[in-house]
Amino acid sequence: MIRLDESQYEKMVHDTDALREKWADLSTDDRLHSFLKLERAAAEDFFLTLKTDEQAELLVSLPVFERRFWLRILPPDDLADLIQEFEPELRYAMLAELDPRLGKEVAALLAYAEDQAGGLMNPRFARIRPDMQVGEALRYLRKQAHENLENLRFIYVLDRDQKLLGAVSLREIFLAPDQKLVQDIMRTNLVEANENMDQEALKQLFASHGLMAIPIVDGTGRMKGIVTADDIVDVVEEEATEDIQRMAGVEVLEAPYLKINLLSMIKKRAGWLIILFVGEMFTATAMGYFEHEIKRAVVLALFIPLIISSGGNSGSQASTLVVRAMALGEVRLRDWWKVLGREIFVGLAIGAILGSMGLLRILIWPSRETLYGEHFFLIGVTVATSLVGVVLWGSVSGSMLPFALRKCRLDPATASAPFVATLVDVSGLIIYFTMASFILRGALL
């Protein structure tokens, strides 16, 4: 944390970009002091640029009468995300500081799971009736605009029971004659989402249709709110972060890296490392099983790192590509056989390339007979064929593991690169020494 003097406070009061840049490094007192020195308009803009966890930290340090104002400038969906950052006992206190209508909206959003469409939506949206004339609809929209609507680009047409009938753009409303009925200009072929839809499925819906907003409805067709593209940007970032962390063999971090205390960080990382360590123990067991071959042909040990790293790298590549393709909806569970066919071909091709390089490396090395003995050619063939087998196995296992996890209703991202590499390390040794036993029998073994 850095400390500021009065001149620095004054400088950042007039340069909110500089304040935003240094915000993460400031102490809690300096953040509060510098924020309170901002003019109200600048402070509002600055507050809205803060991340949710940063807003929560700032609000806790503000006086109660100030806190109420900042809570009320946020739209209900952002406010629900903010309140979830607080401890349970503080959430009720925050809800109590809201006016009744806003408090009811936020409480309704908090009832949804965090990863459901209902938890992402904003319950405030522009709405009109189908039997309204365009002139009347415009006056009604003007009245709604004072209610801090997040989006006026899309106007939704609802019946008396609040069921979604259609939508019309603001441009279409302006261009239509005043006497024309809304039902005559509205579009009815809408893409909508159920309130219980998972956020990942909702993300796919946005991506496949290229939409800026999607209406959210309940099981009876009653419209509950809208989710906009900027809400989905946050979801994409969150999903990508979780996948990257899982694929690195780390449990998901619930807070920014520098804000996770060291004990929690150790717990998050140690679990997978222990599992991987136990897995690597089988590597030692496999080497012990082939101890006789290693003693008789010590030269084989020189290529162990080359063999197992090549297999682990190919498996990590395959699992990363398949997990990402699954996340983007490019690959589905039923496509496993297509992926298998591609990876068999790719694994054989890459294995052949690496095997040829390994064989060539041994054959053209000037001191090959000194290093590898008189049977250097057979050693080269062993390394080459082992590379083909290990790379093929790494590609197949790395690509099929995400499908197996998805079939078991687990997150495919759990097929992390370290996990695949550990799996291929053990099996790679078995492939290598099996090939060596077959090729070098009667020569070195």
Average pLDDT score over residue span 249-277: 70
Cross-sheet strand order for the sheet of 154-158: 127-128, 154-158, 164-169
| Residue 17: CB atoms within 10 Å | 10
- DSSP assignment of 198-238 equals BHHHHHHHHHHHT-SEEEEE-TTSBEEEEEEHHHHHHHHHH
Average pLDDT of the chain, as a whole number: 82
Average pLDDT for residues 36-47, to the nearest whole number? 85
Mean pLDDT within 117-130:
89
pLDDT in the model for residue 185: 92
What stretches of 87-220 adopt beta strand conformation (E)? 127-128, 154-158, 164-169, 193-194, 213-217
DSSP string, 397-420: HHHHHHHHHHHTTS-GGGS-HHHH
pLDDT tens for 50-78 read 888 888 888 888 887 788 888 888 888 88
Asked whether 378 and 392 are in contact (CB, 8 A), the reply is: no
- For helices 417-439 and 376-407, the axis angle rounded to 10 degrees is 140
Q: What is the predicted pLDDT for the residue at 215? A: 93
Topology adopted by domain 6-120: MgtE N-terminal fold (1.25.60)
Listed in order, the ranges of the chain carrying CATH 1.10.357.20 are 257-439
Helix (H, G, I), strand (E, B) or coil at 438: helix
The CATH number of the structural domain formed by 257-439 is 1.10.357.20
pLDDT at 4 over 60: no
Name the percent of the chain in helix, strand, coil, to the closest 5: 70, 10, 25
Q: Which residue has the higher pLDDT, 442 or 119?
A: 119
The least confident of 145-149, 351-355, 372-376 is: 145-149
Tokens of 363: 């054959």
237 HSE (CA, 13 A, CB side): 8
Contact between residue 194 and residue 222 where contact means Cβ atoms under 8 Å apart? no
Residue 195 pLDDT level (bands cut at 50, 70, 90): very high
Give the whole-number percent of the chain exceeding pLDDT 70: 86
pLDDT at position 9, please? 53
Confidence of residue 257 (pLDDT cuts 50, 70, 90): low
What stretch(es) of the chain map to CATH 3.10.580.10?
A: 127-230
Work out the pLDDT band at 217, boundaries 50, 70, 90: very high
- pLDDT, tens digit (0-9, with 9 covering 90-100), for 356-378: 998 998 888 877 777 677 778 88
Q: Is residue 150 scored above 80 in pLDDT? A: no
Instruction: For CATH 1.25.60.10, list the domain ranges present in the chain.
Output: 6-120
Torsion sign (Cα): 346, 352, 355, 356: negative
**Local confidence band at 229 (pLDDT 50, 70, 90 cut-offs):** confident
Question: Pick from 17, 93, 21: which is nearest to 60 by CA?
Answer: 93
Q: What is the mean pLDDT of residues 75-86?
A: 86
Q: How confident is the model at residue 253 (pLDDT cuts 50, 70, 90)?
A: low
d(CA 222, CA 31): 44
Fold of 127-230: CBS-domain (3.10.580)
Helices (runs of H) and strands (runs of E) counted in the chain: 22, 6
